[in-house]
Structure 1
Amino acid sequence: MALSSRLALAGLLGAALALPALAQQPAAPPAWAQGRPDSQAASTLAPHAPRLTATPAERIPLDQIRVPEGFRVEVWASGMPGARMMARGDDGTIYVGTRTIGRVYAVRDEGGARTSRIFAQRLDQPNGVAVRNGSLYVIAINRVLRYDNVATNQNPEPVDLTAAFALPTEAHHGWKFAAFGPDGRLYMNVGVPCNVCSFDEDRFALILRYNADGSGREIVGRGVRNSVGFDWRPGTNVLYATNNGRDWAGEDTPQDTLHRLDRVGQHHGFPYCSGEGWQDPGHTGRRCTEFPAPVAMLGPHAAALGMRFYTGTMFPEAYRGRAFVARHGSWNREAKTGFDVVTVTLNADGTQGTVEPFMTGLLNTGENSFRGRPTDVLVMPDGALLVSDEENGAIYRVSYGR
């Protein structure tokens, strides 16, 4: 046998012998399991996969939903798998972003009956939607698309602003919430690309704002692990944001939080500090006393997402000015929590809030199971409150006295 042939054969044999060793290498854990301690290696906790098929209207658990006396809940729209964040167009169309299914829906009220259609699809987690001057902005993981004249043009070609915004490409916690602020600038979150880790604090765990064309990037808040909902308190223009705490730190630690972002660029704690002064044992380089305390505790692992201040007049006086928060519901907790909508009543200077239940019943505590997953809230011009439900692909309308 020629030398070259013997060398080739030896190489093949070596590669074959190495295959069993390679096969025995443990697979990298999924992103959601990062940070899981060895003591919980056998845990069966894992994220709840969203339902990506339409839920028939008769199977939407409307009869299980409970609201305070005098309020009424109805199914306002359905048949939109994965429905999450909402934005209202100038003509009343409600645009609905999604995550896993990659769609944006357009919902129109046709004289009392709602019709929905797929406005855009095959996008990478287009969770963020916002409307400004007749244009719809859709923010996926790192893409920003602007659809102009959406009230009159049903199928516009998007203007691609991706390069101008230059968002990170990491998918974990990369889905966006977006809204235009009182200053006319486009605000959005950039979550941390891990459960808990060291990271570039100029790129991740941020709330940012831009000019509408993607220029003028400015860091509004740092150390906000993963905010998927924010709004400006009426009469003050002060920004408040929900925040999801880290996983795998215990059944009740840390809590999700509501933050007051009254100083541009201020650091709000992550990864060093979370919840009510909880110091992360793996990140002790800075102390909790260095950061502003959260305004309110929103529950451990409750997945507090969309929030809006109530600006309508339909609801009783006591509800006006409150923050309504959709708690999507826990996965990193043996006893499930969330799956509801709560309100936060702020004190006069807006530095402390009192949390109260508002829309409940989608969590079956006896069976430790859930029937729906509230994801976003939106105040309508008539004062009613829309609540999106990702699990059932529906939008509820909450009204009072009508």
Structure 2
Amino acid sequence: MSPSSLQRFVLTVSATGLLGAASLAALGDEHEPAWAQGRSADMADSPLSPHATPLTTTPREEIPLDHLRMPDGFNAEIWAHGMPGARMMALGDEGTLFIGTRGIGRVYAVRDNGDEREHVIVAEGLTQPNGVAFKDGSLYVAAINRIFRYDDIESHLANGDDIPEPEELTDAFGLPDDEHHGWKFLAFGPDGRLYVPVGAPCNGCEVDPDTHATIHSFEPDGSDMRVEARGVRNSVGFDFHPETDELWFTDNNQDWIGEHGPGDELNRLGEPGEHFGFPVCHSVGMIDPELGSADACDDKTLPAAVTDPHSAPLGMRFYTGEMFPEEYRNAIFIARRGSWNRTLSVGYDVLVAKLSEDGRRADLSPFMVGLLDPRENAFSGRPVDVLQMPDGALLVSDEQNGAIYRISYETPSYME
């Protein structure tokens, strides 16, 4: 990280810390920030806390492209930049990339003009508009409980018109307005329904199993709600198997139970309504020390794979393209935003999950690394989402630097 980047990061963290301290002082000792819920008395002085996301633009020359390392034959380039807080991605029918954010409250649109890409702000002033999805010419945006649909938006962007006023579908969807784990991921399933997670409004607590810690699906207009999965603490990424249509999703497990557990999850939904454990059973059968009982995990669906505790696996997609080698076909790429609730950091990378022959389990291995320096226990980027492009290249969003990387493949000469 260059001195100017480090200075900007420190200023952002310092400002956030001062605001947080002032707010807590005003509220009194009985209140604590949401991220501190579940912290034991002997951890009250712990220096562990979430890393603030810079809300300023990272200059192109300071984006840590040269840090990225991948298997032989893969190459990374900066596809777009200058979009503070870039997170979840969705691709329009005409090639427009739409990008959600959290803290900065914006939704971006990136148009590819050949060698250059230009971005515009589609919406701003929203509360954590993380989720974006595209279907039948319309962009859907989720900002906690508010759902918006921007019709025919690519035509407006192509013609240089003003951004159209969205149709608000908030009342139709009827989502809860909790901000703790309330930011959304959106995706349309092969059944044409819109899938929406509703995270637990806490670190660990009892929840209504039909409301929180769930993944719901709706008709695109917000009607006919179904609960597809229960016991899902905080999923911010899912996709559907290209052959079986099964829903696979990441899930971030509970904080403050321990630095080395429970592990974060990659899950497979075999039957609608399955329960994945929260709040009584975590990871591969760890019973919650506060809320669980001896048989808490007996009737729960365990993960298809488990990754490092607190590593924050978020966006994930099946790879169906032709550019990458055959071994990656129908594998899952997973972006890990990186840890805060452990002393030695993990994550800040992209994993690849290759499925077992029976399609029920997955083996995880590193794919894109280099943004975490373990010697300094410091990071220079935070991958949040992945998205396959029509040519088979893979886009990776970096929230820390407000950039989108394009990962491509060309067979090395020694392999030809």
Q: Structure 1, residues 362-387: CA drift from partner, whole Å, max 9, x if none?
A: 00100000000000000000000000
Report the CA distance shift for 1:24/1:100 in structure 2 as closer, same or farther (over 3 A): closer
| Residue in structure 1 matching 2:148, options 132, 145, 149 | 145
State the distance in 2 between where 1:395 and 1:23 align. 39
SS of 1:221's partner is strand
Give the aligned partner of residue 123 of structure 2. Answer: 120
SS of 2:316's partner is strand
Give the aligned partner of residue 333 of structure 1. Answer: 342
| Residue in structure 2 matching 1:157, options 162, 165, 170 | 165
- 1:58 CA displacement: 0.2
- Larger displacement relative to structure 2 (149-158 or 136-145): 149-158
| Residue in structure 2 matching 1:176, options 162, 169, 184 | 184
How many residues in Structure 1 have an aligned counterpart in Structure 2?
381
Alignment of 1:378-389 (within 5 A): 378-389=387-398
Find the structure with the greater CA-based Rg.
1
- 1:23 CA displacement: 8.7
Unpaired runs of at least 5, structure 1 = 1-21
**Aligned amino acid, residue 179 of structure 1:** A
State the distance in 1 between where 2:109 and 2:32 align. 37
State the distance in 1 between where 2:305 and 2:407 align. 24
State the distance in 1 between where 2:338 and 2:298 align. 29
What TM-score does the superposition give when structure 2 sets the normalisation length?
A: 0.90
Mapped pair 1:277 → 2:282: no
Mapped pair 1:191 → 2:196: no
- Larger displacement relative to structure 2 (63-72 or 281-290): 281-290
State the distance in 2 between where 1:24 and 1:236 align. 51
State the distance in 1 between where 2:137 and 2:155 align. 9
SS of 1:125's partner is coil
- Larger displacement relative to structure 2 (272-281 or 334-343): 272-281
- 1:167 CA displacement: 0.5
| Residue in structure 1 matching 2:356, options 342, 347, 361 | 347
SS of 2:258's partner is coil
**Aligned amino acid, residue 344 of structure 1:** A
RMSD: 1.3
Give the aligned partner of residue 56 of structure 1. Answer: 59
Alignment of 1:20-35 (within 5 A): 26-35=29-38
State the distance in 2 between where 1:178 and 1:360 align. 26
SS of 1:289's partner is coil
Alignment of 1:1-400 (within 5 A): 26-154=29-157, 155-285=163-293, 286-400=295-409
SS of 1:333's partner is coil
State the distance in 1 between where 2:164 and 2:127 align. 19
**Aligned amino acid, residue 264 of structure 1:** P
- 1:289 CA displacement: 2.2
**Aligned amino acid, residue 325 of structure 2:** P
SS of 2:308's partner is strand
Q: Structure 1, residues 94-141: CA drift from partner, whole Å, max 9, x if none?
A: 000000000000001101211111111100100000000000000011
SS of 1:183's partner is coil
- 1:349 CA displacement: 2.0
SS of 1:151's partner is helix
**Aligned amino acid, residue 80 of structure 1:** M
State the distance in 1 between where 2:229 and 2:268 align. 10
- 1:298 CA displacement: 1.7
**Aligned amino acid, residue 75 of structure 1:** I
State the distance in 2 between where 1:124 and 1:23 align. 23
Counting aligned pairs with the same residue, the percent is 57
- 1:24 CA displacement: 11
State the distance in 1 between where 2:29 and 2:155 align. 54
Report the CA distance shift for 1:60/1:290 in structure 2 as closer, same or farther (over 3 A): same
- 1:27 CA displacement: 4.1
Q: Structure 1, residues 27-77: CA drift from partner, whole Å, max 9, x if none?
A: 401000000011111101000000110100000011111010000000000
SS of 1:129's partner is strand
Give the aligned partner of residue 10 of structure 2. Answer: none
Q: Structure 1, residues 148-170: CA drift from partner, whole Å, max 9, x if none?
A: 00111231110010000010011
**Aligned amino acid, residue 133 of structure 1:** D
